[in-house]
Amino acid sequence: MEEAAETDASYPPIFRRPNPDPNPGSKHDADQRPAPASPVFEVPVIDLEPLDPVRLEEVCRSVGLFRITNHGVPSALMDRLLDQARGLLSLPFESKQTLFSDRLSYIWGTPSLGAKVSNLNWVEGFHIPLGQLKSRAHDLDSQDSAASFRCSADEYGQHMARIARTLFNAAAARLELDAKKTASYLSEFDGTFVRVYRYPCCPDIDTYFGMGAHTDSSVLSILCQDELGGLQVFHDNQWFDVAPIPGTLIVNLGDMMQVYSNDEYKSVKHRVLANRSKERISVCYFAFPMEDSLIISSRYKAFTYREWKAKVLEDIKATGDKLGLVRFRIDDPS
């Protein structure tokens, strides 16, 4: 499989070379490399039918990551979206770069679009802004694989928006957030997106991650992963594997939910390990505030989400990393 990966025309060229990055400074430090085996995390389970707000609050405070069941997303849709993604991502690299236009875009190497990062992530995929994605009637029966994929992504996104709103409303109620003030704290479609990721076979799993350790800038993120696994969560000062369970979805809280809760809820750090011989596919929905929503917290300086995005991009360009929450803490001298 390793030899095949080196000649796989669907991979970005840099992933086909045995040693794609000659610069030692871009490699992970030894203490950041994954251990040979990590313990499996007992992910808390949240049942959406019915949703227990008290249980949700407990999990948001203690972990910031949970598995949801009875979510109402048809398994056939989840399987179809993953299969369609596999087909499109198996196209030649050059074809994927020109396959989509404004409604979808092809990304690789970093989850931060167009930004320079300090470490290469061993990942590629499609970025799908849901606010711009409107399925047409003829897409349902289209023989065009890209059109069919857009249709599936649109349908999937509507389910994700429903789940995100359900979870957010319950969490906000437990935090006793003012409904009028927080009406703009979650936007189900505008500015919200789905990303489909493929993690190609990696010849040097001791050096590269599928995706390096990070927290999401979202309110919350909802992940559908295939059977391979590779997701890890940082909890109690160590890394744990998050095992995939068919038919369930993984939800993790993002930075915005931590701000909304005045640090009572956790924005969980997570990463994805690279795999030497098998590819991994996942689909993640990211829910954000409205762009001009003024976010107010007792622990953080007031800011709009537009200002947050600008600062994150500025930091990534300058340092290669997202500084995130520390940038906005009231006790931060900057």
Question: Which amino acid, 170?
Answer: A
**Considering only CA atoms, which of 285, 291, 105, 295 is closest in space to residue 191?**
291
The predicted structure's pLDDT at residue 259: 96
Q: Which amino acid is at 216?
A: D
pLDDT of 58 reads: 96
Other C-beta atoms lying within 10 Å of the C-beta of residue 183? 10
pLDDT of residue 23: 45
The CATH class of the 45-294 domain is mainly beta
pLDDT of res. 29: 46
Cα-Cα end-to-end distance for the chain = 49
| CA-wise closest residue to 28 among 201, 210, 199, 200 | 210
Distance, in Å, from the CA atom of 334 to the CA atom of 327, rounded to the nearest integer, reads 7
Q: What is the pLDDT of residue 47?
A: 97
Question: What pTM was estimated for this model as a whole?
Answer: 0.89
pLDDT of residue 1: 52
Ranges of residues in the chain with a pLDDT under 70 are 1-5, 17-37, 100-103, 110-119, 132-143, 332-334
- Compute the distance between CA of residue 222 and CA of residue 287 in angstroms, rounded to an integer: 8
Neighbouring C-beta atoms of residue 161, cutoff 10 Å: 19
Cβ 318 vs Cβ 283: under 8 Å: no
Using the CB atoms, write b or e for 16-47: b if 16+ within 10 Å.
beeebeeeeeebbeeeeebeeeeeebebbebe
Q: Report the candidate in 308, 225, 229, 219 with the shortest Cα–Cα distance to residue 255.
A: 219
pLDDT of residue 137: 42
